[in-house]
């Protein structure tokens, strides 16, 4: 019989050294990744080094595709969808990000006004009558209007609005569907239309109107039902939002959920749920540029003194729906601001920084000469000089 008090045999357990080492390595990697991400998000010097050395976000003038422009010829350049368009001598030439010629289109316009959204590009003759609509790489319709064109607009679904002057009315706004059919014309007898927008569901036309005929400036936003205006334009107005006196309305933009952003010279307002409210006030701020032409965002550039002879530029990127703000800082003054889709381009003189609406650097372009102009969309950008265009793939 086994002795009751006999101590049980202790079996030696084998230690799996490989598992322990693997666990330690994984733990070290996780900690390292957390530290690197934290440093990238909080330390601008470290982030800049990672962007340049690891992510290769910085490109120089020698490393980009170049399109030469004809000497002495007037060229007008725009970026839309994934193309750079160069309009010269009534020919619109489309180039892709590799600089390859995608198509040549005959466009009888010499002094163009451009607007683009999604895969659409609308071109109007400034102070003329011709309008061309391009989808992807093809002209899908063209038309002539009765007045003199002062602005063209296209929404993401291909609906077009054209502002006209020089008629018996102060302003007129003509709306076209994606097939080029004229739906209606809105006549403004006493106010000047300074901007237009069509809602993302194609139901409403918004007109930014300004009355400067008296001693007091009066701005307002007129909302028109497109469906009603097709048959009864005079009784199609749904809402009319009148601003405070002496507030000058500059631009308007429709965003999702029929949210309307209004840019005044002193504030940026939002109209939602039939109410207009201020979401950004320029008072006591040195605002050098601002834009509402972004998808569900707007951006402002605020200059802040950083020394006796230097200044930083803080780019505020505001989500219109939840009012969250992302900040991006450059240690110099921004010469020009350009926006398109979800992309923001900052012209710093001999550099251009492309950032997205999340506040992250997408690409930095470094030139060896002063940059004249920039055109940008979600996917592509053009750096414009007198004799050439350099293409940046975003």
Which residues, in sequence order, are CB contacts of 107 under 8 Å at separation 6+?
A: 87, 90, 91, 92, 123, 132, 139
CA distances from 90 to 133, 222, 276, 288 (A): 15, 36, 43, 36
Which DSSP symbol is given to 53?
A: I
Phi, psi of 32 (to 5 degrees): -60, -45
Q: What is the pLDDT of residue 1?
A: 47
Which own/partner pairs from 87-91 qualify as long-range (CB within 8 Å, at least 24 positions apart)? 87/112, 87/123
Which pLDDT tens digits describe the chain residue by residue (394 residues)?
A: 455 445 555 455 556 778 888 888 888 888 888 887 777 777 777 777 777 777 778 899 888 999 999 876 789 999 999 999 999 999 999 999 999 999 999 999 999 999 999 999 999 999 999 999 999 999 999 999 999 999 999 999 999 999 999 999 999 999 999 999 999 999 999 999 999 999 999 999 999 999 988 889 999 999 999 999 999 988 899 999 999 999 999 999 999 888 999 999 999 999 998 899 999 999 889 999 999 999 999 999 999 877 666 788 999 999 999 899 999 999 899 999 999 989 999 999 999 999 999 999 999 999 999 999 999 999 999 999 989 999 999 9
User: Cα separation of 248 and 245, whole Å?
Assistant: 9
Q: Which residues pair with 313 in a beta bridge?
A: 303, 330
User: Cα separation of 375 and 239, whole Å?
Assistant: 35
Q: What is the pLDDT of residue 8?
A: 53
3-class secondary-structure state, position 309? coil
User: Cα separation of 315 and 310, whole Å?
Assistant: 17
Q: What is the pLDDT of residue 41?
A: 74
CA distances from 60 to 44, 101, 392 (A): 21, 23, 10
Q: What is the pLDDT of residue 234?
A: 83
214, 229 in Cβ contact below 8 A?
no
Which residues, in sequence order, are CB contacts of 259 under 8 Å at separation 6+?
A: 270, 271, 272, 320, 321
Q: What is the pLDDT of residue 30?
A: 85
Name which of 186, 110, 123 is nearest 153 in CA terms: 123
């Amino acid at each position: 019989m086994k002795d009751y008090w006999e101590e049980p045999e202790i079996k030696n357990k084998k230690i799996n050294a490989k598992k322990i080492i693997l666990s330690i390595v994984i733990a070290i990697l996780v900690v390292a990744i957390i530290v690197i991400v934290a440093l990238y998000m909080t330390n601008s010097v470290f982030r800049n080094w990672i962007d340049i050395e690891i992510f290769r976000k910085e490109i120089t003038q020698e490393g980009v595709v170049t399109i030469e422009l004809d000497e002495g010829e007037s060229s007008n350049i725009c970026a839309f969808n994934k193309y750079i368009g160069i309009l010269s001598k009534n020919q619109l030439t489309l180039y892709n990000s590799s600089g390859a010629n995608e198509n040549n289109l005959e466009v009888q316009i010499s002094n163009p006004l451009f607007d683009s959204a999604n895969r659409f590009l609308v071109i109007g003759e400034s102070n003329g009558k011709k309008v061309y609509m391009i989808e992807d790489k093809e002209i899908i319709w063209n038309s002539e209007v009765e007045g003199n064109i002062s602005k063209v607009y296209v929404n993401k679904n291909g609906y077009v609005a054209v502002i006209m002057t020089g008629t018996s009315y102060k302003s007129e706004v003509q709306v076209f569907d994606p097939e080029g059919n004229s739906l209606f014309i809105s006549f403004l007898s006493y106010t000047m239309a300074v901007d237009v927008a069509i809602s993302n569901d194609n139901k409403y036309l918004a007109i930014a109107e300004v009355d400067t005929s008296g001693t007091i400036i009066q701005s307002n936003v007129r909302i028109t039902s497109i469906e009603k205006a097709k048959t009864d334009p005079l009784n199609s107005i749904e809402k009319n939002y009148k601003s405070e006196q002496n507030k000058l309305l500059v631009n308007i933009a429709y965003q999702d959920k029929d949210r309307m952003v209004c840019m005044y010279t002193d504030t940026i307002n939002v109209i939602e749920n039939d109410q207009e409210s201020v979401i950004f006030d320029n008072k006591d701020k040195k605002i050098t540029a601002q834009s509402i032409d972004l998808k569900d965002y707007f951006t402002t550039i605020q200059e802040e003194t950083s020394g006796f002879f230097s200044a930083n530029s803080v780019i505020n990127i505001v989500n219109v729906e939840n009012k969250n703000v992302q900040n991006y800082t450059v240690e110099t003054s921004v010469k020009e601001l350009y926006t398109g889709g979800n992309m923001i381009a900052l012209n710093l003189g001999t550099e251009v920084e492309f950032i997205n609406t999340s506040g992250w650097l997408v690409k930095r372009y470094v030139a060896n000469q002063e940059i004249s102009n920039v055109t940008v969309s979600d996917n592509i950008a053009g750096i414009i000089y007198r004799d050439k265009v350099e293409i940046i793939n975003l």
